[in-house]
Amino acid sequence: MNDAAEPRQMGWRDKLPPEMAWRGRQGRTRKAITAEQDRAAGGREGRYVKREDGDYALASITLKLLPKTRRIRAYLRWSEGGRSPARYVGEVEHLTRAANLEQAWRIAKGRGMVGERAVPEGSWASSPATRSTMRGNRGRDTTPELRIRSLLHREGLRYRVSTRPLPRVRRTADLVFTRARVAVFVDGCFWHGCPDHCRPARTNSDFWRTKIDGNRARDAQTDQFLAEAGWHAIRIWEHEDPVHAAGRVAAAVRDFAAQDDYNVP
């Protein structure tokens, strides 16, 4: 059996445990640290601790070496009211940090110290995992949208953000080029039914299928409304290459400008 997964007797008798058993690599990014904790916990949804105010906070495991006893202790830490509480989890005994983090998360879960967030009453989500997917699909200022906006601005193009192309129609576009009559929608793969990446929740599947089909029908109707009013709608999936997507938008705006003698840089 691999030593990395083989538990040792508590403590190291003759020497300190190797640094690789408890110390994290220096210079890691926040993203790398979060990914390490997610892997060790078996997913982010199981990393939550209930705070004193009844809400939930995302917790992490910290490993601390006690030189005198040559033991490694694990602590659960989270943010609460400007403080960073720590709760003792237990001792871990593997030769690698990854294995010790996994052991610590198993202990914490077994003792009921962490778990999934409860689904709020009245929420559409039928499970914490579904709710996490919903929360991750924001309505505006998503990372792909911000990237595309930055590229277009760099090209000298100006636009309005999160506004109605047709004031009397309650449909909001992510980017609107008013004079060129171009409306841009950056569609999330989950909410808008991307054929490549949409994975509706397994539970309550009929509800989600109906919800997503309704969104797609609404998108098609929005495009029709815009076309009838002389607008050009551009739809971009969130997984698309931002550079390519921004190029499509810029080309559409400049094509309109060339036809209408509209001066666009």
Query: Does this model's pTM top 0.75?
Result: no
Contact in structure between 101 and 83 (CB atoms under 8 Å): no
Pick from 8-17, 48-57, 70-79, 179-188: least confident: 8-17
**222 and 167 co-located in one domain:** yes
What is the pLDDT averaged over residues 107-119? Answer: 83
pLDDT tens digit sequence for 171-193: 999 999 999 999 999 998 877 88
What whole-number distance in Å separates Cα of residue 243 and Cα of residue 253?
Answer: 15
Please report, as a single letter, which amino acid is at residue 119.
V
Please say which residue of 45, 75, 110 terminates a domain: 110
Which distant-in-sequence residues (6+ apart) come within 8 Å of 238 by Cβ?
Answer: 142, 144, 186, 187, 188, 189, 194
What CATH number should be reported for the domain holding residue 158?
Answer: 3.40.960.10
**61 and 159 co-located in one domain:** no
**241 and 147 co-located in one domain:** yes
- 37 versus 199: the higher-pLDDT residue is 37
Number of domains within the chain: 2
**143 and 89 co-located in one domain:** no
Task: List Cα–Cα distances, 235 to 145, 177, 202, 220, 238, in angstroms.
Answer: 12, 14, 27, 10, 10
Closest CA to 33 of 10, 70, 55, 63: 63
263 pLDDT exceeds 70? no
In this predicted structure, what is the pLDDT of residue 30?
86
Q: Is residue 12 part of a domain?
A: no
What is the pLDDT averaged over residues 146-155? Answer: 93
Q: For strand 182-187 and strand 232-237, is the pairing parallel, antiparallel, or unpaired?
A: parallel
Structure tokens of 102? 């996994």
In this predicted structure, what is the pLDDT of residue 121?
47
Q: Is residue 11 part of a domain?
A: no
What whole-number distance in Å separates Cα of residue 41 and Cα of residue 107?
Answer: 11
What is the pLDDT averaged over residues 217-232? Answer: 96
Which distant-in-sequence residues (6+ apart) come within 8 Å of 16 by Cβ?
Answer: 65, 67, 70
In this predicted structure, what is the pLDDT of residue 196?
77
Please report, as a single letter, which amino acid is at residue 201.
A
Residue 138 belongs to domain spanning: 128-260
Structure tokens of 87? 């709760």
**43 and 103 co-located in one domain:** yes
In this predicted structure, what is the pLDDT of residue 220?
96
Strongest mean pLDDT among 141-145, 211-215, 228-232, 238-242: 228-232
- Cα dihedral value 5, 6, 8, 12, nearest 10: -60
**86 and 206 co-located in one domain:** no
| Crossing angle for the helix pair 143-154 and 242-260, to the nearest 10 degrees | 50
**162 and 51 co-located in one domain:** no
